[in-house]
């Protein structure tokens, strides 16, 4: 499946009244017949949202005919208000002053698990279910007001299902990706992502290089979002195709797509050195080692380091071996490109080309990657870049050494890594480089707060690390 | 487009000749240093200066003299900078320095403080949370020393615009001339106005994509912010050092129909990296027959250490961010104070 989200769907019950506790689901390949899986493993058709304005909220409702068969129904603001128990009758519930008489003996809820499940299957509305739960709770009326609110919030979250369709923005995409699986984006947290754009001094008209591997295009999406039509972003990658998940999620305009040039690092450096032979030769030579390198490093990485990622992938495609998992991710990337070119109405010819590899048919006409390589090399050899960003799984040192000469003096570079150690290596190395100054190694700390009257405190859970950044300025010292 | 060019020309004509060349310094990069440029002189990681390249200056008697700057690396004849390349090494009598392009980040660490300022880690998060990109209309209050303003302008130019307000007349006018001399005057409108009392004015009504508040009583400006924001909604961010301010602001935001209200804090830690040699005691070769204390050492080990700073900013301010939904999806609870019900 290719991924082409056109909208960000946020599922959250009390989203409209409380802060920041929704779950986010990106819609994969948005078409009218698209289905999403929210809380239950039951698909819900999204056809209803087509043609409706963004920010419309829908309620998941059980269809009359069958068990666990849901459909979306548009909600008006009035519906939402009357749905919410806490909003529709605030202060109507009696409450206790403290918990001295509440004993947790497992018997406070008179209804059994089966009875509650039956309520749901009978097609009772979520509000009715929660009402029944309260009626049958021995302790609810003795709970303090705060504790009641917490209880309701929990129950509303469990039994109410709302979906709000939102326009994708970098902020939402970054939050979703971090929340869903931070391993897939190398733990690149929003605060660190935001530091990258300022550290590289991102101007809308500038020309920037980003080398990205292992963060699903998030860093390049965030940079591209800051460029106007005059800006250029050269997205350098080591495989056949860049990872564009986040970029595709952004719904790029044509103008933005024109700002983006993706190029394989080997092809780019070869081209810039001027050592490449005829175009056909390059094509057949480069694909094999590059592909192997990616595959082997991917496999070993998943085996040794990130077992959680493997389990996620296996869960998605059960019955596949580890090698197959890697293969799927490869095809996945290919598919993304296919969908991309499909949109540009090149159609089935392109599809054939990518399926059978790059060397097919390139003798006659330059393939897309060759055109892109020429474009990138032309851009970077005519004038040096205004900044360089590295967000990579590989050790950054060799990549930085190769790309830093392409950056103009008095411009900044930023290297992100989830671990501090490779950046320490890089730091000591750069101290010896006369053409780099102002090298700094930093990390940022991020804490969220619950702000309610008389109950303000930092959130109980926080993330331990958002990754590390090494920043510096390229200068021309006159030395080599 | 034509209209924009015309305003450009009008503004340029008002300047003295050297300002004409200076006009691009924060906006675009250029190769060589010219008279009138603003640049950053990098002496060491902890020593940076912002200088304006004026070959001549007035001494205390009012006479025009050669502009010579005393730095920690020795004296610098400012005239000698002209014609040098940006990013090149400048030889000084006791060492050297680098002439760098001005950036909002370097400006933040070198600017003359007129108020408490917001620093880069918070600025980055503010830009990100406000979802700024080229073309956005953004409101800032107050202008203060202009630390954040430069970064806001960079994020929204060339097609966007910053409206910045300060209730202090002098600060507003100094900021205005700073933006002009930094070459970004076309992207910003500075107003001397008390926004808590009088709002943001009709010029920006229903125009803004994002509003930033750094005020002693931010909650008073929130209803005005709703008025200033587009019908399609937008983002708001308030920076407050005290939790009491945050609580009142959050209450107001909830009341006016803001969603995704979130309060957060960002701090930066800069590590001290150093290569060290550590001596290693040899305790394996101890003998029962040895006499007295005798230190035996193994070969020393070389390590690269990475230390957190001894002291660092442990608090700057709380950032409260929120989304104003489009007009049709807004649910203001606080109907008495709700100001923007269509």
Which of A10, A53, A55 is best to mutate for the B interface (most B CBs within 10 A)?
Answer: A55
Mean pLDDT across chain B, nearest whole number? 87
Interface mutation vs chain A, best among B231, B275, B323, B331, most A CBs within 10 Å: B331
Tokens 């003998």 map to which residue? B287
> Which DSSP state fits A184?
G
* A416: β partners: A391, A469
Is B264 close to A448, i.e. CB distance below 8 A? yes
Across the interface, whether the CB atoms of A476 and B85 are under 8 A apart is answered yes
* pTM of structure: 0.81
Q: Give the phi and the psi of residue A442 in degrees, each rounded to 5.
A: -135, 160
Q: Which parts of B217-296 are beta strand (E)?
A: 234-240, 259-281
pLDDT digits over B94-126, tens only? Answer: 999 999 999 999 999 999 898 999 999 999 999
Main-chain phi, psi angles of A395, to 5 degrees = -65, 130
Model confidence band, residue B319 (pLDDT cutoffs 50, 70, 90): very high
Measure the CA–CA gap between B159 and B132, rounded to whole angstroms.
Answer: 12
| Cα–Cα separations (whole angstroms), residue A480 to A305, A431, B42, B88, B256 | 38, 14, 20, 13, 60
B287: confidence class by pLDDT, cuts 50, 70, 90: confident
CB contact (8 A) between residue A476 and residue B88: yes
- B267, B273, B333 member nearest A427 (Cβ): B273
pLDDT of residue A140: 81
Q: Give the integer Cα–Cα distance in Å for A285 and A298.
A: 21
Question: pLDDT band at B10, cuts 50/70/90?
Answer: very low
Interface with A, mutate which of B128, B261, B306 (most A CBs under 10 A): B128
DSSP secondary structure of B27-38: TS--SB--TT-E
Q: Taking CB atoms and an 8 Å cutoff, what residues of chain A touch B309?
A: none
User: Which of B139 and B9 is assigned the larger pLDDT?
Assistant: B139
Q: From the CA of A96, how many Å to the nearest CA of chain B?
A: 25
Of B45, B104, B268, the CB nearest to A442: B268
> CA–CA separation, A335 vs A351, rounded Å?
9
Residues of B (112-171) whose Cβ lies below 8 Å from A:
120-121, 123-125, 127-129, 131, 133-135, 151, 154-155, 157-159
Distance CA A116, CA A130 (A): 10
Nearest C-alpha in A relative to B259:
A16
Residue A322 clears pLDDT 50, i.e. is over it? no
Give me the DSSP letters along A379-402: HHHHS-EEEEEEE-SS-HHHHHHH
For residues A216 and A243, the answer to whether their CB atoms sit within 8 Å is yes
Q: Which of B280, B262, B282, B256 is nearest to B334 (CA)?
A: B256
Percentage, residues of chain B above pLDDT 70: 90
Residue A302 C-alpha, separation from nearest chain B C-alpha, in angstroms? 29
Q: Which range, of A49-58, B95-104, B127-136, B278-287, averages the lowest pLDDT?
A: A49-58
Query: Per-residue pLDDT averaged across B281-288, rounded?
Result: 84
**Token code pair at residue A35:** 């289905």
Q: Given this model, what pLDDT does residue A56 score?
A: 82
Q: What is the pLDDT of residues A257-281, one digit of tens each?
A: 999 999 999 999 999 988 444 444 4
Q: At what angle do helices B120-129 and A190-199 cross, to 10 degrees?
A: 110
Find out whether B317 and B240 touch, Cβ atoms under 8 Å.
Answer: yes
- Work out how many CB contacts closer than 8 A connect A with B: 193
Instruction: Determine the Cα–Cα distance for residues A217 and B188; give it in Å rounded to an integer.
Output: 32
Residue A49 to residues A31, A42, A285, A394, Cα–Cα distance (Å): 10, 18, 48, 42
Q: Looking at beta carbons, which residues of chain B come within 8 Å of A54?
A: 326
Are A15 and B259 within 8 A, CB to CB?
yes
Mean predicted confidence (pLDDT) in A382-391: 95
Contacts A437 to B, Cβ<8 Å: 42, 45, 98
Rounded to 5°, the CA angle A276-A278-A282 comes to: 60
What's the maximum distance between 2 C-alpha atoms anywhere in chain A? 84
Residue B231 C-alpha, separation from nearest chain A C-alpha, in angstroms: 13
Task: Give the C-alpha separation, B95 to B81, whole Å.
Answer: 15
Confidence class for position A35, pLDDT limits 50, 70, 90: low
Provide the pairing of β-strand B210-213 with B234-240. Answer: parallel
Q: What residue of B is the nearest CA neighbor of A79?
A: B331
| Least CB–CB distance from B134: residue in A191, A193, A204 | A204
pLDDT at A101 over 90: no
B288 touching A (Cβ < 8 Å):
no
Q: Cβ contact (<8 Å) for A477 and B89?
A: yes
**CA separation for the pair A454, A31 (Å, rounded):** 46
**Do residues A168 and A174 touch, judged by C-beta distance below 8 A?**
no
A449 neighbors B265 (Cβ within 8 angstroms): yes
CA–CA dist B258, A48 (Å, integer)? 26
Q: How far apart are CA B162 and CA B23, in angstroms?
A: 18
* C-alpha–C-alpha distance, residues B21 and B88, integer Å: 20
**Helix axes A348-355 and A322-343, enclosed angle (nearest 10):** 150
Most confident stretch, A10-24, A280-294, A387-401, B288-302: A387-401
Q: Which of A191, A411, A453 sits opposite B251 (nearest CB)?
A: A453
A57 neighbourhood in chain B, CB within 8 Å: 329
- A96 against A355, higher pLDDT: A96
Residue B1 at interface with chain A, using a CB cutoff of 8 Å: no
Residue with tokens 């009326």: A141
Q: Do A453 and B128 touch (CB under 8 A)?
A: no
Residue A391 has pLDDT above 70, yes or no: yes
Chain A residue with the nearest C-alpha to that of B26: A203
Q: Which of A16, A194, A447 sits opposite B127 (nearest CB)?
A: A194
- For residue A195, the chain B residues in CB contact (below 8 A) are 120-121, 124, 268
- Structure token digits, residue A325: 């998992």
CA pair distance A35, A244, nearest whole angstrom: 22
Q: Does B315 lie at the interface with A, CB-CB under 8 angstroms?
A: no
B45 contacts in chain A (CB < 8 Å)? 437-440
Q: Do B268 and A444 touch (CB under 8 A)?
A: yes
Residue A109's pLDDT band (boundaries 50, 70, 90)? confident
Among A19, A452, A458, the strongest candidate for a mutation testing the B interface, having the largest count of B CBs within 10 A, is A19
Interface of B with A in 31-60 (CB under 8 A): 42, 45
Q: Tell me which residue in B131, B269, B306 faces A171 most closely, judged by beta carbons.
A: B131
pLDDT in tens, B154-164: 999 999 999 99
3-state secondary structure of A290: helix
Write the burial class of residue A430 (CB in 10 Å: 0-12 exposed, 13-18 middle, 19+ buried): buried
Measured on CA atoms in the order B124, B128, B129, B134, is the torsion positive or negative? positive
- Segment B144-171 mean pLDDT: 95
Tokens of B88: 């090149």
Average pLDDT over residues A13-34: 40
Mean pLDDT of the residues in chain A: 73
pLDDT given for residue A38 in this prediction: 55
Q: Is the dihedral of CA A36, A40, A41, A42 positive or negative?
A: negative
Cβ within 8 Å, pair A194-B98: no
Dump pLDDT digits (tens) for B19-59: 444 445 788 888 899 888 899 999 998 899 999 898 888 88
Which residues, at least 6 apart from A478, have a Cβ–Cβ distance to it below 8 Å? B88, B89
CA dist., res. A83 & res. A75, Å (int): 10
- CB contacts of A191 in chain B (<8 Å) are 121, 124-125, 128, 266
Q: How large is the average pLDDT for residues A155-171?
A: 78
Q: What is the pLDDT of residue A212?
A: 95
Q: Does B230 touch chain A (CB under 8 A)?
A: no
Chain B nearest CA to A383, separation (Å) = 11
Task: Collect all residues with Cβ–Cβ distance below 8 Å to A323 and sequence separation of at least 6.
Answer: A299
Pairwise CA distance, residues B116 & A167, whole Å: 36
Q: Tell me, what's the pLDDT at A89?
A: 53
Q: How far is A295 from chain B (nearest CA, A)?
A: 33
pLDDT at A306 over 60: no
pLDDT tens track for A125-151 = 777 778 888 888 878 877 887 788 788
B41 in Cβ contact with B71 (< 8 Å)? yes
Alpha carbons within 13 A on the beta-carbon side of A239: 23
Structure tokens at B275: 């290569």
The more confident residue out of A183 and B15 is A183
Is residue A181 over pLDDT 90? no
A425 or A99, which is more confident:
A425
Q: What is residue B222's three-state secondary structure? A: helix
- Distance (Å) from the alpha carbon of B133 to chain A's nearest alpha carbon: 5
Length of chain A: 480
SS3 A183: helix
Interface test with B, best of A87, A410, A424, A453 (most B CBs within 10 A): A410
Given a cut of 50, whether residue B15 has pLDDT beyond it is: no
Residue A119 Cα, gap to closest chain B Cα (Å): 30
Cα–Cα nearest to B273, from A430, A392, A444: A430
- H or E stretch at A430: helix A421-431
Answer whether residue A314 shows pLDDT above 90.
no
Residues in chain B: 342
Of A427, A448, A475, which is closest to B87 when you measure between CB atoms?
A: A475
The HSE-up count of residue A21 (CA atoms within 13 Å, CB side) is 15
Measured between CA atoms, how close is A190 to chain B, in angstroms?
Answer: 8
The pLDDT value recorded for residue A49 is 72
Contact B77, B63 (CB under 8 A): no
């Amino acid at each position: 499946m290719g991924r082409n989200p056109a909208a960000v769907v946020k599922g959250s019950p009390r989203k409209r009244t409380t802060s920041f506790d929704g779950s986010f689901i990106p819609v994969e390949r948005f078409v009218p017949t698209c289905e999403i899986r929210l809380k239950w493993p039951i698909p819900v058709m999204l056809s209803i949202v087509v043609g409706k304005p963004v920010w419309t909220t829908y309620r998941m409702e059980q269809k009359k005919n069958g068990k666990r068969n849901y459909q979306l129904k548009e909600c008006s603001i009035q519906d939402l208000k009357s749905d919410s128990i806490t909003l529709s009758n605030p202060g109507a519930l009696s409450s206790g002053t403290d918990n001295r008489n509440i004993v947790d003996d497992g018997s406070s809820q008179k209804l059994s698990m089966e009875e509650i499940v039956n309520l749901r299957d009978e097609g009772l509305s979520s509000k009715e279910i929660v009402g029944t739960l309260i009626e049958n709770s021995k302790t609810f009326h003795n709970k303090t007001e705060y504790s009641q609110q917490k209880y309701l919030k929990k129950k509303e979250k469990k039994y109410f299902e709302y979906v709000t369709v939102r326009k994708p923005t970098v902020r939402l995409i970054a939050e979703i990706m971090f929340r869903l699986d931070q391993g897939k984006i190398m733990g690149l947290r929003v605060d660190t992502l935001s530091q990258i754009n300022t550290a590289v001094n991102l101007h809308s008209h500038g020309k920037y290089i980003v080398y990205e591997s292992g963060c699903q295009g998030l860093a390049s999406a965030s940079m591209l979002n800051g460029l106007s039509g005059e800006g250029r972003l050269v997205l350098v990658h080591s495989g056949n195709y860049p990872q564009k998940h986040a970029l595709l999620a952004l719904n790029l305009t044509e103008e933005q797509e024109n700002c983006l040039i993706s190029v394989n690092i080997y092809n780019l450096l070869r081209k810039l050195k001027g050592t490449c032979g005829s175009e056909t030769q390059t094509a057949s030579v480069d694909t094999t080692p590059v592909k192997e390198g990616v595959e082997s490093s991917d496999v070993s990485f998943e085996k040794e380091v990130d077992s959680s990622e493997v389990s996620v992938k296996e869960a998605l495609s059960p019955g596949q071996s580890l090698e197959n998992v890697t293969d799927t991710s490869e095809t996945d990337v290919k598919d993304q490109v296919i969908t991309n070119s499909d949109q540009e109405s090149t159609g089935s010819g392109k599809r054939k080309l990518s399926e059978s590899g790059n060397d097919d048919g390139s003798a006659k006409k330059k393939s897309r990657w060759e055109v892109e390589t020429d474009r990138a090399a032309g851009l970077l050899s005519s004038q040096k870049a205004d900044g360089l960003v590295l967000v990579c799984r590989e050790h950054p040192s060799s990549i930085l050494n190769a790309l830093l000469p392409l950056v103009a003096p008095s411009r900044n570079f930023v290297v992100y890594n989830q671990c501090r150690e490779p950046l320490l290596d890089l730091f000591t190395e750069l101290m010896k480089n006369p053409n780099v100054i102002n090298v700094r190694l930093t990390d940022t700390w991020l804490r969220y707060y619950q702000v309610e009257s008389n109950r303000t405190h930092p959130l109980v859970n926080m993330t331990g690390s958002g990754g590390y950044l090494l920043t510096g300025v390229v200068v021309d010292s006159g030395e080599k | 487009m034509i209209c924009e060019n015309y305003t450009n020309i009008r503004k340029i004509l008002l300047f003295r000749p050297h300002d004409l060349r200076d006009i691009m310094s924060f906006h675009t990069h250029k190769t060589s240093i010219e008279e009138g440029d603003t640049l950053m002189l990098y002496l060491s990681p902890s020593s940076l200066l912002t200088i304006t390249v004026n070959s001549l200056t007035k001494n205390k008697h009012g006479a025009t003299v050669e502009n010579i700057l005393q730095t920690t690396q020795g004296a610098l004849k400012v005239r000698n900078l002209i014609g040098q390349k940006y990013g090149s090494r400048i030889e000084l009598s006791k060492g050297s320095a680098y002439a760098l392009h001005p950036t909002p980040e370097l400006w933040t660490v070198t600017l003359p403080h007129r108020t408490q300022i917001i620093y880069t880690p918070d600025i980055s998060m503010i830009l990100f949370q406000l979802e700024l990109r080229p073309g956005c209309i953004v409101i800032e209050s107050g202008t203060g020393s202009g630390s954040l303003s430069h970064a806001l302008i960079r994020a929204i130019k060339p097609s966007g615009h910053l409206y910045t307000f300060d209730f202090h007349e002098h600060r507003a006018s100094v900021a205005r001339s700073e933006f002009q001399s930094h070459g970004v005057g076309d992207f910003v409108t500075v107003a001397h106005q008390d926004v808590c009392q009088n709002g943001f004015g009709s010029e920006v009504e229903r125009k803004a994509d994002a509003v930033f508040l750094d005020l002693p009583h931010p909650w008073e400006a929130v209803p005005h912010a709703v008025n200033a924001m587009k019908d399609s909604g937008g983002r708001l961010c308030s920076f407050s050092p005290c939790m009491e301010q945050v609580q009142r602001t959050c209450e107001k935001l909830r009341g006016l129909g803001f969603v995704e209200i979130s309060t957060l804090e960002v701090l930066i830690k800069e590590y001290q990296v150093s290569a060290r040699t550590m001596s290693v005691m040899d305790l394996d070769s101890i003998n029962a027959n040895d006499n007295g204390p005798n230190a035996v050492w193994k070969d020393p080990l070389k390590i690269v250490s990475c230390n957190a700073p001894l002291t660092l900013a442990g608090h700057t301010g709380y950032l409260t961010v929120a989304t104003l939904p489009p007009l049709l999806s807004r649910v203001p609870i606080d109907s008495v104070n709700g100001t923007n019900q269509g």
